[in-house]
Amino acid sequence: MTATYETWLEEVEKALASINMPMEEWQRQWAFDFTREFRSGAVATDAAMKANRFWWHEQNKAVHQDCTLSGDCWLPRGHQGRCQPVIQDASGAQS
Distance CA 23, CA 3 (A): 21
pLDDT value at residue 63? 95
Collapsing DSSP to helix, strand or coil, 66 comes out as strand
pLDDT value at residue 71? 86
Among 63, 58, 51, smallest CA distance to 73 is for 58
pLDDT, tens digit (0-9, with 9 covering 90-100), for 4-63: 999 999 999 999 999 998 898 899 999 999 999 999 999 999 999 999 999 999 999 999
pLDDT value at residue 52? 94
Single pTM value for the model: 0.83
pLDDT top residue among 95 and 45: 45
pLDDT value at residue 93? 46
pLDDT value at residue 91? 46
Instruction: Please name the amino acid found at residue 39.
Output: R
- Residues facing 73 on adjacent strands: 85
